[in-house]
Each structure stands twice: as C-alpha cells, then as structure tokens.
Amino acid sequence: MTSTFSQWTLDVRDVDLMARFWSAALGYDIDPDDDGDGAHLRPPAGAPANALSVWLQPSGGPKRDKNRNHPDLVATAGTADAEVERLLGLGATRADVGQTGSEGFTVLADPEGNEFCVLHRRRTV
C-alpha cells in the first residue's frame, strides 16, 4: 500500500486575502471552513479526479525564510510568460531565491511571500 497527495496546506495570516489570491490563481472554488478560521479551496467541476485541494489555515506569525517546499504551477492555456503576467496582476511578486536565470521556471511569491514556481513547460512522467 502507498500514499498519494490529496491536499496542499498553507499557513497564512490573512485567510480571506489568500483565499481570493489562490482561488483566482488556480481557478478553484472557495469553501470556507465550518469553524470560520480556515478556508478550503476545491478544484472546479470537471477537474481531474486526482486534483489537489488547498487548505489555508491561519497562522499567528509572519513568514520568515524561504519555503522548504512549494507548488510548481503550469499554464493551462497560453504561455508560461503570459501566466506569470496574469499571476503578477493578481498580486504575486517576483522572488529571488538564488536562481541564475537559465532555469526552466519563474519564481514568484504570493501576497504573503510564499514562493511558488511557474514551469516554462509541462513536465512529463
């Protein structure tokens, strides 16, 4: 027996802000948590059965260092450059984590500084 990924969980300070950003970035639906503290982001109807959900949970402190893990996104339509520009328009910022400029991805940060990448091409298995 093995495990599989089901959900990406992110500690955030402003649940509403981050839910709006990540739902717009991913095209997910916001499903507020029953206790009112966190928010689930659910893949839209028609998404692959194995699409990850996102759980945004409130955290008391600010982000301090580079994330030890992060999501890698791919554009579902258009180019990676166009997707980077779209995400910047939603509130992402460019992030420098020591990249050289020859990588096959662009590093961005969400409105609270959590890094993520936009891959320049879809990875194949």
Give the residue-averaged pLDDT of 40-65: 89
What domains lie within the chain, and their CATH numbers?
1-59 (3.10.180.10), 70-125 (3.10.180.10)
* Mean pLDDT (whole number) for 32-44: 83
Q: Return the pLDDT at 37.
A: 85
User: For the residues 33-39, what does the mean pLDDT come to?
Assistant: 76
pTM over 0.95: no
- pLDDT (tens digit per residue) in 82-114: 999 999 999 999 999 888 888 999 999 999 999
What backbone phi and psi angles, to 5 degrees, belong to 96? Answer: -110, 110
Buried b (16+ CB within 10 A) or exposed e, 70-98: bbebebeeeebeebbeebeeebbeebeee
Structure-token pair, residue 105? 């991805």
